[in-house]
Amino acid sequence: MAKGLPKSFKKALWVYHINSGSCNGCDIEIIAALCPRYDAERFGIKLVGSPRHADALLVTGPVTRQMVEKVKRAYEQMPDPKAVICVGNCGNTGDVFYESYNLVGPIDNVIPVDVYVIGCPPRPENIINGVAKAWMKLETLEAKK
């Protein structure tokens, strides 16, 4: 990890995942990141079932009209401090879905994003890197207080 950080993280990062209309490619790589090969769980990163317990939000997919409200609600339910990680090219810029009648823009039109992980789909190592960067941001914010 980067210098300037304490040697051990003060707490483990709990992550909530929401799929706003993606093709599932990114979602499979997120699960693969938790499996024994890449093993994000050894860092304490855990997937939780409710946004109220989460520190970071993993969003995939270009946001469809049906999912806009749900994404906003998940973001509002998360307690501060929180970080939003946008996984995959669809959420960043739209990728191949750049023109559509049912999509409401890239994710940063809907909620503010902290870390962008690019790739279609991004490799599991890339996703863990993105989560670690979000973690550093949160820890830095905590340290400043």
Partner 1 sequence: MSKGTTKTTYQLPIGPIHPALKEPVMFEFEIDGEKIVNVDVALGHVHRGIEWAGTKRNPIQILYLAERICGICSYCHPMAFALGVERVSKIVVPDRANYLRVIHGELERICSHILWAGVAAHEIGFDSVLFLTWQMREKVLDLTEYLTGNRVTKGITMIGGVRRDITEDMHPRIFETLNYFKENFEKLRHIFLDDKTFKLRSQGCGILKKEDALSLCAVGPTARASGVKKDVRLDQPYFAYGDLEFDYVTPDVLTGEVNGDVYDRIIVRLLEVKQSIDLIEQCIKNMPAGDIVAEKKIAKLLATLKKAKGEGIGRMEAPRGEVFHYVKLNEGDAPYSWKVRAPTYSNILPWIPMLKGQQIADIPIVAASTDPCMSCTNRVSIVHKNERHILDKETLHRMSVEKTRRLMA
Partner 2 sequence: MTKCLTPEDLVKSFADKFQVKIKESRIEKYAHGSKKTEFSHIWMRIDKSIFKDVVKHLFTFDEHPHFAVASGYDMGSNIELVYHFSLYGGERNHEVSINITVELPKSNPVIETITDLIPGAVISEQEKQEMLGIKVKGIPKNTRIFISDDFPEGVFPWRRDETGPDKMVRNLHGVKK
Q: Please report, as ranges, the residues that interact with partner 2 according to CB under 8 A.
A: 62, 64-66, 93-94, 97-106
Relative orientation angle of helices 124-144 and 25-34, to the nearest 10 degrees: 70
* Binding partner of 106, given partner 1, partner 2, none, CB within 5-8 angstroms per partner class: partner 2
Q: Which DSSP state fits 120?
A: S
* Binding partner of 21, given partner 1, partner 2, none, CB within 5-8 angstroms per partner class: partner 1
CA distances from 5 to 10, 19, 59 (A): 10, 31, 26
Minimum CB–partner distance for residue 99 and partner 2 (Å): 5
Closest Cα partner for 134 from 63, 78, 83, 100?
A: 83
Residues of the shown chain interacting with partner 1 in the complex, contacts defined by CB under 8 A:
17-32, 34-37, 47-50, 58, 61-62, 64, 66-67, 70, 90, 95-97, 99-103, 120-121, 123
